[in-house]
Chain A
């Protein structure tokens, strides 16, 4: 099959010519890069990548095809995919579909055959910026005009659209053959967790279920009173896309929940929202952390190799001033990677303990959260 010509244009006018894979068409978004060498399917279906054109720095994409188990949401969420080399002939026993076929079926355009290393170096030096890929607009000036008309990621609330629009219950744990830590026999007593969905990854819900949680997933704009009416043992704040400071309803809700002294655990955007609600501030990172090999911990302590995906971060000084404890730092650039409150039962991490994709080093955080809920349950209902 002939490969259709395709164009990638960045907001600064840089042009890359390659060929299209997946669907034809035009896609606009913030161009970011992910450095993982595995897990492209999880990345493509992670709602936190909404509104973005994701460039994969690992140059071989599609070797393991696509399978139904590895989706982090019901469909691919990225605006488009950027790759060095793509194969339509996967080699893996779980593969059900090739990557190009999968993206075509979901109307997601991709561009391959470009120098992704040059692109990555550009983003590293100039910072993440908007861009467009197209198989139909092959004139760079025309495509550039479209890019320059697109809004910046800063100030964009994408979480409200990424989360569920109605509450639902989640019960499915990590399948037995993929379980790696939790003891499925030690799930009692069950605890009830309300998860505020800013664009949640399925594997977070699976990990909570594996540790014995009954989970009610609620829309991102649910007020605190409605959440408390569900009588949760704890509240989970999910990951999600966009600028955390723009998620004003979510921040207000979390502030109200803090006043109610409910146990809370946040991941990624949830962590940022918790920090903002506690009085901290966020800023946009130059090119973000997106990959599977980010070391986190306290200097001299145990190091966790973590999966990360964020373009914004909490400001350390603002947290300290707000009286929040910084529990983990990113050992590469010393940005805030985890926080806890000195008096309230809440903690959060910037990275992804649910992995998928990535290492399982931080899975203990789910055990810690559920342990906290069980301890409080045991105090509340004394056993005779």
Chain B
């Protein structure tokens, strides 16, 4: 980005291929992104941009309720951001966010904590063919960074109508942002009570989720993105698995893929093992199974944390109901066991205790 802006690329006659500078800016700059989404009628989260603490406070007042999410612009993995549940936390997180952002800009937005989170991996070629490579559903609701969330592919709890709505919006978004060729990752929040959809962000590049989507479906996103960038179209590239049919298709799978992040809070003394909008995981395990249960248990076992599935591996002493409820309320790396403990203690599936 800095290279292109300083004119070095132009001076040496180097062309940016795939996602152009304008497309990257449109996707990454919160204000430009919001304007782009308004043009195509895609809902975004009520929010405001601030470059100073005074501006940040004004936006917080306008949105009117806590919790508020603070996201610094142009940082990887959301460094310096967080969730503020009250004014005191807001002051602290907003200040550190302004500090962490290279252009001293933060986004203050309405909290969508508790909404379902979905991602779609999208590819486009120079003929304007667009395909969805994979849908991913986060096991953890909004409020836990996708990188820290247990994620499942394909999406598990959307009907066809609901999924197609996300697909239509994803196609409109990649066209409006103007990623000419290659892959993008688009994240949505869906209200579990009424299905309202809000687009969270778009990453106009091959991302961490693209790696998962590639492994989950056998559709090599990075390899094809390179081919598309030099002018091939999707129907000219052979499907990597069948070798006979074209890549202009949408992978369909007969299995379930689960990714579980691995944490190492013990190696960072002073860090609190609570999962927030700032990514804290240090690795992940991915497993494929013929049912959700199978892939989930395989992924748990693959974490190398000394556990061999969802608790069938040992006798456990149940924490008190009070403690279980607390563990369910605050997401930590141990949340999976809290769910097991909750079931064992007689809690049932329903709205999580708030």
Contacts and interface: CB of A to CB of B under 8 A. Distances in A.
B292 interface: yes
9 contacts: A38-B158, A38-B159, A59-B290, A60-B291, A93-B195, A94-B162, A180-B165, A293-B250, A293-B252
B159 A39 contact: yes
Nearest to A42: B160
Given A84-B290, A297-B235, A303 B248 contact: yes
A305 B133 CA distance: 12
B338 interface: no
A57 B252 CA distance: 9
A92 B155 CA distance: 12
A36 interface: yes
A84 B291 CA distance: 8
A238 interface: no
Q: How large is the interface on B (under 10, 10 to 19, 20 to 34, 35 or more residues)?
A: 35 or more
B179 interface: no
Contacts of B253: 37, 58
B283 interface: no
A110 interface: no
Given A38-B160, A59-B255, A295-B249, 7 more contacts: A39-B160, A70-B160, A178-B165, A293-B249, A300-B235, A301-B127, A356-B160
Q: How large is the interface on A (under 10, 10 to 19, 20 to 34, 35 or more residues)?
A: 35 or more
A294 interface: yes
B161 A69 contact: yes
Interface in A98-133: 116-117, 120
A268 B163 CA distance: 23
A70 B252 contact: no
B319 interface: no
A183 B168 CA distance: 16
A367 to B, nearest CB: 15
Interface string B240-264: 0000011011111111100000000
A300 B129 CA distance: 11
A384 B164 CA distance: 44
A295 B242 CA distance: 14
B243 to A, nearest CB: 13
Interface string B178-209: 00000000000000111100000000000000
A42 B246 CA distance: 27
Q: Specify the main secondary structure of chain B where it touches its partner.
A: loop
Interface stretch (A144-152, A341-349, A357-365): A357-365
Contacts of A35: 252, 254
A67 to B, nearest CB: 7
A332 interface: yes
Contacts of A300: 233, 235
Interface of B: 127-129, 131, 154-165, 167-168, 192-195, 233-235, 245-246, 248-256, 290-292, 349
Contacts of B234: 303
Contacts of B163: 38
A173 to B, nearest CB: 15
B258 to A, nearest CB: 12
Nearest to B235: A303
Nearest to B154: A37
B248 A355 contact: no
A23 B234 CA distance: 44
B242 to A, nearest CB: 9
A94 B165 contact: no
A92 B235 contact: no
Contact of B235 (A60, A293, A331, A355): A331
Contacts of A116: 254
Interface string A34-76: 0111110110000000000000011110011001011000000
A299 B235 contact: yes
A292 interface: yes
Interface in A176-222: 178, 180
A303 B164 contact: no
Nearest to A120: B254
Contact of A358 (B164, B248, B249): B164
